[in-house]
């Protein structure tokens, strides 16, 4: 049993290393193809990433991550999202607060500027 578990761990590590190698190969292709069109160069990176994701999905960690993503997607469907009216009202309150704070800070700035000019004996 111990050897079986160790073998699975080694296979997972090998797959993850292979995934990293594919990403690095995509980056190397991007650098090597510096004379080619940008589309070809970007495709080399995208193909490397795609192959890495496909390989990583079949590791233990990849399967756990995929399961986590599915559960997260299901949870977002359970969330009660605000209605359009509630969203607009909340946005309006935030906007009004920002305007009020901007005016307040402008008044404080103007008062402090006048105070500094007065202290420096300059015309206010």
Asked if residue 73 and residue 101 are part of one domain, the reply reads no
Statement: the pTM of the whole predicted model exceeds 0.85: no
Q: CA 74, CA 95: separation in Å to the nearest integer?
A: 33
Asked if residue 86 and residue 70 are part of one domain, the reply reads no
Asked if residue 109 and residue 48 are part of one domain, the reply reads no
Asked if residue 67 and residue 37 are part of one domain, the reply reads yes
Tell me: the pLDDT tens digits for 17-58? 999 999 999 999 999 999 989 999 999 999 999 999 999 999
Q: What is the DSSP letter of 81?
A: P
Tell me: the pLDDT tens digits for 69-110? 999 999 999 988 899 999 999 999 999 999 999 999 999 999
Count of domains for the chain: 2
The domain containing residue 43 runs over which residues?
A: 2-78
Asked if residue 118 and residue 66 are part of one domain, the reply reads no
123's enclosing H/E stretch is none
Is residue 27 within 8 Å of 1, Cβ to Cβ? no
Percent of the chain residues topping a pLDDT of 90: 77
Residue 67 token pair: 């399961």
Asked if residue 86 and residue 74 are part of one domain, the reply reads no
Asked if residue 88 and residue 73 are part of one domain, the reply reads no
| Coil vs helix vs strand at 51 | helix
């Amino acid at each position: 049993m111990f050897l079986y578990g160790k073998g699975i761990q080694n296979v997972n590590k090998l797959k993850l290393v292979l995934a990293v190698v594919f990403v690095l190969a995509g980056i190397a292709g991007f650098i090597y193809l510096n004379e080619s069109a940008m589309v070809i160069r970007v495709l080399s990176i995208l193909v490397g990433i795609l192959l890495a994701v496909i390989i990583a999905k079949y590791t233990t960690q990849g399967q756990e991550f995929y399961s986590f993503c599915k559960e997260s997607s299901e949870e977002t469907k359970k969330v009660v999202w605000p209605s359009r009216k509630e969203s607009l009202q909340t946005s309006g309150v935030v906007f009004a607060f920002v305007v009020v704070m901007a005016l307040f800070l402008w008044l404080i700035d103007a008062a402090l500027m006048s105070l500094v000019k007065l202290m420096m004996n300059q015309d206010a």
